[in-house]
Structure 1
Amino acid sequence: MAEQDKDSRETFGVLFGDFAPGQKDSTENPMMRSKEAAKAALPKRFYKDVSVGTEEGNGEALGGETLYCVLLDGRKVKSPAKKTVCVPTRQLAEALVAEWDAQEKEINPALMPLTRLLNSTVDGVEEAREAIIEEIIAYLNNDFICYPASHPERLVQRQKDHWHPVLDRAEEALGGRFVQASGILAIRQSPVMGERLRALWADLDVYQLGALHSMMTLTGSALLPFALWDGFLEPEAVWNAAMVDEDWNIELWGEDEEATKRRVFRRAEFEAAVQVITALRP
């Protein structure tokens, strides 16, 4: 049992790190954290059975409801901050169980994007709620779909096809107009739009908020996660809209091996956020 406890500490403390939205550490993104962890030997799988358990919610973050957690040989999985990693639906818990059960001989966090996302959510989102919402609102001024290209025409049209429907839907929902940049100069959106988005998302639970923040940082847009949360776009359409410029450059210059690896990693992070948002979307 002591050896198992030691393995558990190594798994959660070293590999998954202690990070959350709104926090900074020496390794600024999940892919870099996973690369750092990969430099050390991955711990062996120390458990045999993986199953779904339950946990009574307590406090504002858990809402007082019965939540679902992952059991490793009957013991609840803990976050790096020693909190039980709980989720509001059995569907999400089963997805977590699948990640843990897929670790055959070693535990590799690079292959566990949903676990990483929910670790950060459980450990830090409630405490950083206001900061996270402020960051999302501020992001509207830098949302990349408001900075279209001016040429070549084929790229301009491709951006319009993917981005303008999102902008139109967001303007309808938020009751205003988004400014489109005509050059490289920074633009500022109406603060009214930000306040209306804040009103929509102020009461989101920590899981939705953490997933939306993650998707925002992955796509470079707050409006694309809004389109998914709103039910306006399906996940594949959101990803394609986020990748318009990257796909264009690949068509022009070909694929780069390292860039392709980063894209695969980002897609896995994206899909983890999708799982949470779609499972809990009103």
Structure 2
Amino acid sequence: MKKFYKTVTVDEQGGRVLLDGRPIKTPAGNPLIFASLPLAQGIADEWAAQGEKILPETMPLTRMSATQIDRVAPRRSEMEIELVAYAGSDLLCYRAGEPAALVERQAATWDPLLHWASGKLGLSLVPTSGIMPIDQSEEAMAAAARYVVGLSDVELTAFALAVPPAGSFVIGAAMIAGKLTAEEAFSVSQLDETFQIELWGEDYEAADRRAALKLEFIEIERFLKLARV
């Protein structure tokens, strides 16, 4: 889209970003009202940085705010159910049987997070070896449900953006809680891939995908921090 505005300002009273004095709307046509003034300023900076053409891929804060308003808030109950399901198939619970070096690395990296989830969230998940699915307890799934219900819309948005690429309910929760930084969450979720790269190397396309995924985690973390101020 060609740039159609000249000035970008922040309406501090309404928490809105204004383009030539007119408020931004989401793709669904909803008012883009922000969770905090710092987030509004961050989004204003994204719009102000655009050149002759508007490049949506350079505006992660705008995209995530619109996701919160258009997708999370109106269908929150459905999203909660979808996210709880990840606790039943959490990446951290599916362990390799071999080689020993990978088994040891998974245990050393993933076990502390499972212990944290059990103590902090009451979410006790049971790990297994291999790829065959196992059923987690009703108590664990109920704890996962309680956790997502307790999240604010902003937190649920960040959680919903982080959990699918991580493949892990626990990693997403640890990131929301500040137990893991964005870079740590990326590293933990990519443990298996990193191990294989160390053995066999990495092609350019895979490296680009991993770099994009890491940046996505960093942007989610930034969105959450600005919205919470």
User: Structure 2 length normalisation: TM-score?
Assistant: 0.90
Q: Is 1:233 equivalent to 2:175 in the alignment? A: no
Q: Is 1:207 equivalent to 2:154 in the alignment? A: yes
Given that 1:113 and 1:268 are in contact with CA atoms closer than 8 Å, whether structure 2 keeps it comes out as no
Within 1, Cα distance between the matches of 2:91 and 2:5? 44
Within 1, Cα distance between the matches of 2:89 and 2:49? 38
Given that 2:93 and 2:127 are in contact with CA atoms closer than 8 Å, whether structure 1 keeps it comes out as yes
Cα offset, 1:268, TM superposition? 2.8
- Return closer, same or farther for 1:192/1:160 CA change in 2, 3 Å cut-off: same
**1:80 match:** 27
Select 1:247's aligned residue among 194, 215, 223.
194
Segments of structure 2 that go 5 or more residues without pairing to the other structure are none
- Tell me the amino acid that sits aligned with residue 165 of structure 1: P
Q: Is 1:104 equivalent to 2:62 in the alignment? A: no
- Return closer, same or farther for 1:234/1:196 CA change in 2, 3 Å cut-off: same
Cα offset, 1:197, TM superposition? 2.8
Given that 2:86 and 2:169 are in contact with CA atoms closer than 8 Å, whether structure 1 keeps it comes out as yes
Within 2, Cα distance between the matches of 1:105 and 1:161? 50
**2:69 match:** 122
**1:144 match:** 91
Cα offset, 1:271, TM superposition? 2.0
**1:51 match:** 9
Given that 1:52 and 1:70 are in contact with CA atoms closer than 8 Å, whether structure 2 keeps it comes out as yes
Given that 1:208 and 1:276 are in contact with CA atoms closer than 8 Å, whether structure 2 keeps it comes out as no
Per-residue CA deviation, residues 66-118 of structure 1 (Å, 9 max, x unaligned), is xx222222211111111122221112112212222222221111222222222
Q: Secondary structure at the match of 1:52?
A: strand
Residue-pair matches, total: 229
- Tell me the amino acid that sits aligned with residue 96 of structure 2: A
Cα offset, 1:140, TM superposition? 0.8
Given that 2:30 and 2:70 are in contact with CA atoms closer than 8 Å, whether structure 1 keeps it comes out as yes
Within 1, Cα distance between the matches of 2:3 and 2:228? 34
List structure 1 segments (4+ residues) > 6 angstroms apart after TM superposition.
none
Within 2, Cα distance between the matches of 1:116 and 1:250? 32
Given that 1:92 and 1:275 are in contact with CA atoms closer than 8 Å, whether structure 2 keeps it comes out as no
**1:26 match:** none
**1:188 match:** 135
- Tell me the amino acid that sits aligned with residue 50 of structure 1: V
- Tell me the amino acid that sits aligned with residue 53 of structure 1: D
Percent of aligned positions with the same letter in both sequences?
Answer: 35
Select 2:81's aligned residue among 134, 141, 154.
134
Within 1, Cα distance between the matches of 2:115 and 2:122? 10
Q: Secondary structure at the match of 1:133?
A: helix
- Return closer, same or farther for 1:279/1:195 CA change in 2, 3 Å cut-off: farther
Within 2, Cα distance between the matches of 1:120 and 1:175? 29
Within 1, Cα distance between the matches of 2:3 and 2:138? 50
Q: Secondary structure at the match of 1:51?
A: strand
- Return closer, same or farther for 1:138/1:247 CA change in 2, 3 Å cut-off: same
Q: Secondary structure at the match of 1:204?
A: coil
- Tell me the amino acid that sits aligned with residue 169 of structure 1: W
Q: Is 1:71 equivalent to 2:18 in the alignment? A: yes
Within 2, Cα distance between the matches of 1:111 and 1:281? 22
**1:3 match:** none
Within 2, Cα distance between the matches of 1:258 and 1:210? 28
Cα offset, 1:220, TM superposition? 1.0
Cα offset, 1:221, TM superposition? 0.8
- Tell me the amino acid that sits aligned with residue 246 of structure 1: E
Within 2, Cα distance between the matches of 1:146 and 1:107? 42
Segments of structure 1 that go 5 or more residues without pairing to the other structure are 1-42, 57-67
**2:113 match:** 166
Given that 2:35 and 2:228 are in contact with CA atoms closer than 8 Å, whether structure 1 keeps it comes out as no
Cα offset, 1:167, TM superposition? 0.4
Within 2, Cα distance between the matches of 1:87 and 1:211? 14
Cα offset, 1:144, TM superposition? 0.7
User: Structure 1 length normalisation: TM-score?
Assistant: 0.75
Q: Is 1:276 equivalent to 2:223 in the alignment? A: yes
